[in-house]
Structure 1
């Protein structure tokens, strides 16, 4: 998709409203690599090329393996994601693909067993935020491939 609107320029004020959430999440109780893994998975679900490029580059710069990125679509079957990561991914998918108007009880219970209340709130805020960025990029296009690791840190 070609870029329709340069959101970072034309929508600078609107984007500025989202930046404090990113700053909060960067200091949250959920480890940055796990948040980026969740962002990558949600971006796969939503088909956001810009965010996939960005989070793949950020994850690789943090030392994430290519194998784990390649198989993230099949995280349930892959043996190299921790129980905490699997709980976070299930939570992110349930919030991104809402079915029956709620998160399934089993997904909630597993997430609660792996995350404190504060961590689960922070994780939820992260999922909400990446879904918002995905939708902006998908609606207006983005300069896919131009991102450099840490560019928006």
Structure 2
């Protein structure tokens, strides 16, 4: 039996997820988080979850916003490089914290304010929800 596309099978739940993501993004931007930092968070969570659909979407979004291919290529090894600012490193740590919630890793996120940290956690929660929707629905990723 084919899996249902969750976005159309229960459209109200999907619209709620879109609204959650929009609110999280607005809170992050209002708190002073850079738009590229949000894209890096989304890409990193999508890498960890193996969501091809979201990886393609957010990589394109990041490139459109001026992100470099070098930084995207090195993103899985962000802790081993000096490519990322303290604020970006905090956002990436939060992406990993939320994505692998049971690991209880305690990275330093002091480079962002409490408001930014909260908004980034909500953004990570939202992208993880979208990753799970796309993966469990088997969203097609065409070249």
Give TM-score scaled by structure 1 length.
Answer: 0.81
The equivalent of 2:141 in structure 1 is: 144
Q: Which has the higher helix share?
A: 2
Unaligned runs of 5+ in 1: 147-153
- Asked whether the equivalents of residues 17 and 129 of structure 2 are also in contact (C-alpha less than 8 Å), the reply is no
Give the aligned CA root-mean-square deviation in angstroms: 1.8
CA distance in 1, matches of 2:24, 2:141: 24
Report the Cα offset of residue 103 of structure 1: 4.4
Unaligned runs of 5+ in 2: none
The equivalent of 1:16 in structure 2 is: 15
CA distance in 1, matches of 2:10, 2:52: 20
What is the count of residue pairs matched by the alignment?
138
1:121 pairs, out of 108, 118, 123, with 118
CA distance in 2, matches of 1:103, 1:78: 19
Give TM-score scaled by structure 2 length.
Answer: 0.87
